[in-house]
Structure 1
Amino acid sequence: MAAPSSLPFDPVEEAARKWSARWDDADAMAVATSIMRVQQLLLGRIEAALRPLQLTFARYEALVLLCFSRNGSLPMSKMGQRLMVHPTSITNIVDRLQAQQFIRREPHPTDRRTTLVAITDAGREVTERATEALVGVRFALEALDPEQMKSLYDLLRDVRLHAGDFPAEDAARTWPNAFHNAE
């Protein structure tokens, strides 16, 4: 489902051509620019799939995180850490989800300084519907077959590892059966 192009050429390739005439490492520039553009494309398609449910991808990720938690609740600070967002951002996400009645804030049973965020039944239901919508569009990655997805995942994981996104001792770990179709 490709959108019509507004340009008769690939602007990233053109930029790389011009870049290489002036500076070094045009390949790295082209790859970084491609990743940024693909991120825009993916987010646009994902947000479009979630829009009928009045969710953004950030709010969807928060709901999924709560669904994956043992008790359906987590401290706000832990949510921010796991979603890798600033405390102000997690507060905004939680405020919006609470206004939609998808989550509720609860006092922590043993730590008065901590607020728990708990998913509601409505939050669980919208998470299921949102997940169906995203799976229906293959998270906007229908252009890739399973082997390509695994290769791309591995390459991007190496970049994240090098940037310190997770501990190096976790480098050999993979999700159970995450790419079983590619092997």
Structure 2
Amino acid sequence: METELADLVHGVGRRLRRGYGERLGPLGLSPGQARALRVIVESEPPLRMVQLAERLRIVPRSVTPVVDALEEAGLVRREVDPANRRSTLLVVTPGGRELYERVREERRRVAEELFSVLTAEQRDRLRELLGTVDAQSA
């Protein structure tokens, strides 16, 4: 029973990632880059690289190529942390904020299409259940 549930969750996640990839590719972002951009945009004050890695639940060395790509695209810039000159802060650019809004809309559309087979009450219940599982594993 639990393996069947895990397979279903994995399959839904795979469909979401595929949908995101299809919608984000034309915007010039991978799903991982879009996720990092979202975390950077939604963070106040600006994050350090290690904090971004923690929020993305990846090892710090894996965040560097993601930030490099975002920086090369002009979406994010690195700034010296005035409170600790050895640290680097990640600051979203106006272009990054604008693209983030487009990404957010595409993500919403993908999720809306995938979950359209559920009623509003079923979506609320699924959100609650998955939130409980996610909080337990964090």
Q: TM-score, normalised by structure 2?
A: 0.89
SS at match of 1:85: coil
For the pair shown, which has the larger CA radius of gyration, 1 or 2? 1
Taking the aligned partners of 2:26 and 2:33, their CA distance within structure 1 comes to 14
Q: After TM superposition, give the deviation of residue 89 of structure 1 in Å.
A: 2.1
Amino acid at match of 1:33: D
- The corresponding residue for 1:54 is 28
Taking the aligned partners of 2:30 and 2:119, their CA distance within structure 1 comes to 26
Taking the aligned partners of 1:109 and 1:156, their CA distance within structure 2 comes to 39
Taking the aligned partners of 2:133 and 2:120, their CA distance within structure 1 comes to 20
- The corresponding residue for 1:128 is 101
Taking the aligned partners of 1:97 and 1:41, their CA distance within structure 2 comes to 25
Q: TM-score, normalised by structure 1?
A: 0.69
Partner residue of 1:97 out of 70, 78, 83: 70
The alignment of Structure 1 onto Structure 2 pairs a total of residues equal to 137
- The corresponding residue for 2:81 is 108
Confirm or deny that 1:160 pairs with 2:134: yes
Q: After TM superposition, give the deviation of residue 80 of structure 1 in Å.
A: 1.2
Q: After TM superposition, give the deviation of residue 112 of structure 1 in Å.
A: 2.0
Amino acid at match of 2:108: V
The structure whose residues are more often helix, as a share, is 2
Taking the aligned partners of 1:106 and 1:127, their CA distance within structure 2 comes to 20
1:30-81, CA deviations, whole angstroms, 9 ceiling, x for partnerless residues?
Answer: 111111111111110111111110112221122222222224x211111111
SS at match of 1:69: coil
Taking the aligned partners of 1:132 and 1:97, their CA distance within structure 2 comes to 19
Give the RMSD, CA atoms, in angstroms: 1.6
Amino acid at match of 1:60: A
Asked whether the equivalents of residues 36 and 56 of structure 2 are also in contact (C-alpha less than 8 Å), the reply is yes
Matches of residues 1-183 of structure 1 in structure 2 within 5 Å? 27-71=1-45, 73-138=46-111, 140-163=114-137, 165=138
User: Which of the pair has the greater relative contact order for Cα pairs under 8 Å at 6+ separation?
Assistant: 2
Taking the aligned partners of 1:143 and 1:90, their CA distance within structure 2 comes to 35
What percentage of residue pairs aligned between the two structures are identical?
A: 31
SS at match of 1:78: helix
